[in-house]
Structure 1
């Protein structure tokens, strides 16, 4: 994983054509993000940020929005990052507003140290999630898995903790696509199959066969992108995010 930021623009291939998208991964300390916030936050976002008092909340807010704005800048040339505003929908999902920006939307995830965001056309829904690999969290994650998923842990990753964390990110990313968040029982997001391909695990879902997850481990983090099952994403794009 890069020390500061990695940004990749890519195209999603489908039988009906190509869909442009972009993803950004950010690793910046809070002091740096605060110093540069005026270069990427919208005026309304600056007001929202000033109301945040806890450093962890401040860092999460800035990591997510910086990643989102950098991804947006890669997708759309010649835009001013501060013209774009990300607000929260009624289910706390991020909603992107940009005058003349069309129907571009965003999915955001963050941990204490990393932020990731993916921007995409509204007509091609996607979701992203990231979690720190933590042994102490593995037992909690195991409680939300189905018996079938527990039997497939070894197919996701040879390390149980990493496998559990990857499964969690898949479910989170799918919930973001569906805009349900944590309000829907996680067993409904059960995976049906898992296969490894060049260090990336590809999973399909039992109840949502129209989607798939692309997941990987990097920098002690589990990462997942959920996208329509028949869409093709060049795996080299993902590799550039963590092999750079």
Structure 2
């Protein structure tokens, strides 16, 4: 485990254990102001990303863009060590999924999520798919989420968290993260992502899925936000590592 903490950035090198050996990955959580990110943007944005940023007119959009790209580049730097992050570009696929463009990077992929305040990104090898999501806990949004979950999940909310709104937000991030792994986005009915078992380990919430038993989710609450990471079920990640991502 290689942990580095600087201001409002936490980057963690992961080694996911499976029967066939270790699978490397890197995950970064970021909380920076728009002014901070604007000031350092040339240190992490690709020239085409800089050009695109200059077309963004609204501060909230600018902030979200920089948060996501900064988290992605910091995770990538930790994953590959000796790269120049300004040579890497994060573009969008046909389903708006993030796509990494970097000469010699091979089959490296990434998943990104951000709110108006924070971001998370995970970088991984194509052979070991992963996905992340983060959402601010919001009462109004939680009530909307309640209308699209299954009856079985409604009965399990108290097992996720004692606070109902927080439970609903966590559940949403779990489903979003799984949809990113499957590259289906919001185009697939969310009831197909129904969770099954729930357990708590070292402060993290671990869930399995009824229709996708090959995956698991690891979720946590930090700074009024719900965070989720979805990864293959038989991959072992020490939940204690998640605590290092608390911002």
* TM-score with structure 1 setting the length: 0.97
1:15 matched to 2:19? The reply is: yes
Judge conservation of contact 2:201–2:239 (CA < 8 Å) in 1: no
Alignment-derived partner of residue 168 in structure 1: 172
Distance 1:112 1:164 in 2: 19
Distance 1:237 1:2 in 2: 17
Q: Deviation of residue 2 (structure 1)?
A: 8.0
> Where do 5+ consecutive residues of structure 1 fail to align?
none
My pick for the range that moved more, 1-10 or 191-200, is: 1-10
My pick for the range that moved more, 194-203 or 82-91, is: 194-203
Judge conservation of contact 1:2–1:27 (CA < 8 Å) in 2: no
Alignment-derived partner of residue 216 in structure 2: 212
Alignment-derived partner of residue 109 in structure 2: 105
Distance 1:72 1:20 in 2: 12
Alignment-derived partner of residue 181 in structure 1: 185
Alignment-derived partner of residue 153 in structure 1: 157
Alignment-derived partner of residue 34 in structure 1: 38
Judge conservation of contact 1:155–1:196 (CA < 8 Å) in 2: no
Alignment-derived partner of residue 94 in structure 2: 90
* Structure 1 runs of 4+ with >3 Å offset: none
My pick for the range that moved more, 87-96 or 136-145, is: 136-145
Distance 1:71 1:3 in 2: 16
SS at match of 1:241: coil
Q: CA RMSD in A?
A: 1.2
Residue correspondence of structure 1 range 52-131 to structure 2 within 5 A: 52-131=56-135
Q: Deviation of residue 236 (structure 1)?
A: 2.2
Distance 2:184 2:30 in 1: 25
Tell me: CA distance 1:3–1:162, structure 2 relative to 1, closer, same or farther (3 Å): farther
Judge conservation of contact 1:105–1:122 (CA < 8 Å) in 2: yes
Q: Deviation of residue 3 (structure 1)?
A: 5.2
1:199 matched to 2:203? The reply is: yes
2:232 to 208, 228, 232: 228
> Where do 5+ consecutive residues of structure 2 fail to align?
none
Tell me: CA distance 1:175–1:2, structure 2 relative to 1, closer, same or farther (3 Å): farther
Q: Deviation of residue 17 (structure 1)?
A: 1.1
* TM-score with structure 2 setting the length: 0.96
Aligned residue pairs total 243
Q: Deviation of residue 156 (structure 1)?
A: 0.7
Q: Deviation of residue 54 (structure 1)?
A: 1.1
1:164-189 deviation line (CA, Å, top 9, x unaligned): 10000000000000111111111111
